[in-house]
Each structure stands twice: as C-alpha cells, then as structure tokens.
Amino acid sequence: MGWAIAWGCLGFAMVMLARISRRMGQYTHARRYYRLLYIAACLCWLGTLFHTLLAFNGLAQFSEIVQNSVYVLLADGMPALGLVIALGVAWYYWSWLLAERD
C-alpha cells in the first residue's frame, strides 16, 4: 500500500511541475510539452488505482499476483512509464538551469 501512496504523491508533484512549466513556457515561448506531464500524472494515478484495487481484492495471494504480467503492467508499469515521460519533459523545460554559461 505504501507504493500506491508514493505513486499518487508523485502524480501530484507532476501536476505542480506542469503548472509551473506552463507559466514558464508562456514567457519563453516554448512548445507546449508540459501537457505530457498531465498525462504522466494520470498514468501514475491509474497505476495507484490498479495497485489499490488489486491489493484489496483478496482473491489472489500476493506471491501469485506479483508473477502476473497484467499486475506488473498495470500497477507498476504505468507509473514507471509516467515517471519516464515526466523526467523527459522536465529535462526539456528546465535544462537551461544546468547549462554552462560563459
């Protein structure tokens, strides 16, 4: 259950980052890639929902459900994909902070 809460909080952080990136993009006239952060947050929240539903299902044992590929794709894969998308978009928008200036 702890992972579900962590993925949900990461989804919330992605929404906050999207809102900040949108405002910065208005001033720098950057493309609207920040919308991908909202999609990434939805993927995290859907993974949280599936993780919670499967955890409270009670019909399958934990050792059986972890080996199930549907569980891995829905509960763990979707948030991981959302995190990869969010890292790429955040790097695109905020890499100017790390650029070396002469």
- Domain ranges in the chain are 2-22+38-97
Phi, psi of 58, rounded to the nearest 5 degrees: 75, -5
For residues 75 and 47, the answer to whether their CB atoms sit within 8 Å is yes
Tokens coding 82: 């959302």
Count of other CB atoms within 10 angstroms of residue 42: 15
The residue that leads in pLDDT, 44 or 2, is 44
0.85 exceeded by pTM: no
pLDDT in tens, 14-35: 999 999 988 888 887 878 888 9
